Chains A and B, each alone.
Chain A
């Protein structure tokens, strides 16, 4: 696979990649910053919310 086609493939999944790469740790660290500790851990919670939201954004094409 050439670099341009790899980049194009990555671009197709940007919402989901953004969710896992940024949104999940952001949610987790936000919870920790305000002193909340949710069941199964803040990171697991962050991943669950981010992947769910990311999937919606991936298929609907919009975050809000």
Chain B
């Protein structure tokens, strides 16, 4: 850190909290409101690519091992566009392009076997109660180290794992029992497709193009979205999320190094969070946020 930055932080720390919040919001506004074209291309391009793998494999045009590697990337990338839609970043309610926001969410979340509305309700609950052991539906991923986090993520997705229970509890608290039935319908429909493929001689294709990539993708996603930015376990607006430096870089960690900015200002598009972070960093430092790594 430069001497100037240190001086800036000291000056900022002397300002009242309301003034810091005002400055923070001014920066956030500068990095929001634009139409996220990249997310739109990402959402539907990714889905088209994954859907194309099936005929390519069935016709022998693409070997299964190569298609598996592509499917692994595709199914790891499904969640983030739906995440933008969950936060109304593509279009807010009541705006002309609202239908597009909902189309991105509903049109792609089925690939990871979740109804979009269920993802939205539970994710907003995570924002409200981040790191609260009783109320944060993503808290079950808490673990001391990265390997322990990966194992915890796999363990908690088992039939008696906490993940399912915490999500059910979140939906019940929100009064959305209808989404519990809808989630079960998605799961049963998914199984019906897998069974039909398997019993017609395509079990390996179903396994390598869908089942296994969803499992690996979920572990990867939970690691970077739930564990890495939140594992301090602290609670509170300026404490529950941290910035971090990933060995996989910003793209390899899906932009989650700057997740703190997302939790503070969830309306900023994913692609703008790095720029917003660097502009906001002195304020975050003055606030005492956990940003030492980045």
Binding site for A on B (CB under 8 A): 154-155, 158-161, 181, 184-185, 187-188, 191, 194-195, 198-199, 201, 203-204, 206-207, 211
Contact = CB atoms under 8 A, between A and B. Distances in A.
Query: Which size bracket describes the interface of A in this complex?
Result: 20 to 34
Contacts of B181: 4, 7
A58 to B, nearest CB: 8
A14 B159 contact: yes
Interface in A6-60: 7-8, 10-11, 14-15, 17-18, 21-22, 25-26, 28-30, 33, 57, 60
Contact of B191 (A21, A29, A30): A21
Contacts, number: 58
Contacts of B194: 21-22
Given A7-B184, A21-B198, A26 B159 contact: no
A47 to B, nearest CB: 12
Contacts of A14: 159, 187, 191
B179 to A, nearest CB: 13
Contact of A22 (B154, B185, B187, B195): B195
Given A21-B198, A26-B198, A63 B158 contact: yes
Interface of A: 4, 7-8, 10-11, 14-15, 17-18, 21-22, 25-26, 28-30, 33, 57, 60-64
Given A7-B185, A7-B188, A14-B191, A26 B158 contact: no
Contacts of B198: 21-22, 25-26, 29
A64 B201 contact: no
B159 A62 contact: yes
Contacts of A60: 160
B154 A64 contact: yes
Please name the 8 residue pairs, one residue from A and one from B, whose CB atoms are nearest each other, closest first. A61-B160, A21-B195, A62-B158, A25-B198, A26-B203, A25-B203, A29-B203, A61-B159
A22 B184 contact: no
Contacts of A61: 158-160
A26 B185 CA distance: 23
A63 B155 CA distance: 9
Contacts of A25: 198-199, 203
B291 to A, nearest CB: 37
Contacts of A30: 203-204
18 contacts: A11-B188, A14-B159, A15-B159, A18-B191, A21-B191, A21-B199, A22-B194, A22-B195, A22-B206, A25-B198, A26-B203, A28-B203, A30-B204, A33-B204, A57-B159, A62-B155, A62-B158, A64-B154
Nearest to B159: A61
Given A30-B203, A61-B158, 10 more contacts: A7-B181, A7-B185, A15-B159, A22-B211, A25-B199, A26-B206, A33-B204, A60-B160, A61-B159, A63-B159
